Amino acid sequence: MLNIPPFCPKCSRHLGTHPKNTKCMNCSRAELFFDFAWCACFFEDPLKDLIHQFKYNQKTQLSGQFSKLMVHFIKEYHMDIEQFDFMVPIPLHPTRKRERGYNQSFLLASQLSRIFNINLNINLLIKTKNTKNQSLLSKKERWTNITGAFKIKNPNEVNNKSILLIDDLLTTGATSSEAAKALKSAGAKTVGVFTLAGTKLER
Ligand SMILES: [Zn+2]
């Protein structure tokens, strides 16, 4: 369940037999606007099912166990989380948030913010486009669906800052990349991504 090296230098997903220190197929093909991503676990059962419960079935109490897995990853691989000025959870569109009642990325981010003592900024990045559920779309559709979905509320808070985006899952990287793009165009120095799980790389 826990992600293990060798990691892709860009997205940290397990490279398997892919040549070490070279980007995975996904990262070499796509233009990703974040500087790097960390994935704590593999997106496979039983975690896969638990993430589903967490997102769609109100099992918000899982955020405690999930954040422990994320903390383990940082400590085990000595990831430099101290470099970040603040964390930003990937926001939901207000309509989606209302339906669900909570934002699962915010729940993870608030645990991590407390554990690592790094500020949380939740009013900065907003989702202005109510996109379709990415998991129901093809790889290509995901990129079109998410384009232009995020806006920055206070660009002056972003300028020259190192920002860590928090999300539950890294798949194509389209969502994180689009959020990173918005932050970078507002002047962010570094944008990292930290997710609970990453899908396995295709061969
Ligand atoms: Zn990669």
Judging by DSSP bridges, how do beta strands 162-170 and 150-152 pair with one another? unpaired
Q: What are phi and psi of 59, to 5 degrees?
A: -85, 65
34-77 residue pLDDT tens: 999 999 999 999 999 999 999 999 999 999 999 999 999 999 99
Query: CA angle, 172 as apex, 135 and 95 as ends, to 5°?
Result: 45
Structure confidence by residue, pLDDT tens digits, 81-116:
999 999 999 999 999 999 999 999 999 999 999 999
Residue type, position 142, single letter = R
Query: Which residue matches tokens 């826990």?
Result: 2
How close is the Cα of 54 to the center of ligand 1, in Å?
A: 25
Å from CA of 31 to ligand 1 middle: 11
> Residues with beta carbon < 5 A to ion ligand 1?
8, 10-11, 24, 27
Q: How far is the CA of 27 from the centre of ligand 1 (A)?
A: 4
Residue 145 CA to ligand 1 center (angstroms) comes to: 21
CA of residue 154 to ligand 1 center, whole Å: 30
What is the predicted pLDDT for the residue at 203? 59
Q: Please work out, in degrees rounded to the nearest 5, the angle formed at the alpha carbon of residue 35 by the alpha carbons of 15 and 164.
A: 105
Give the Å distance between the CA of 97 and the centre of ligand 1: 29
User: Ligand 1 centre and the CA of 101: distance in Å?
Assistant: 32
Q: Using CB atoms within 10 A of its CB, is residue 18 exposed (0-12), middle (13-18) or buried (19+)?
A: middle
* pLDDT tier, 139 (very low <50, low <70, confident <90, very high otherwise): confident
Q: For each of the domains in the chain, give its residue range(s) and CATH number, in order of start.
A: 25-198 (3.40.50.2020)
Backbone angles phi, psi at 85, to 5 degrees: -75, -40
Q: How far apart are CA 171 and CA 197, in angstroms?
A: 9
Q: How far is CA 203 from the centre of its chain?
A: 22
Q: Is the pTM higher than 0.75?
A: yes
CB 41 within 8 A of CB 16: no
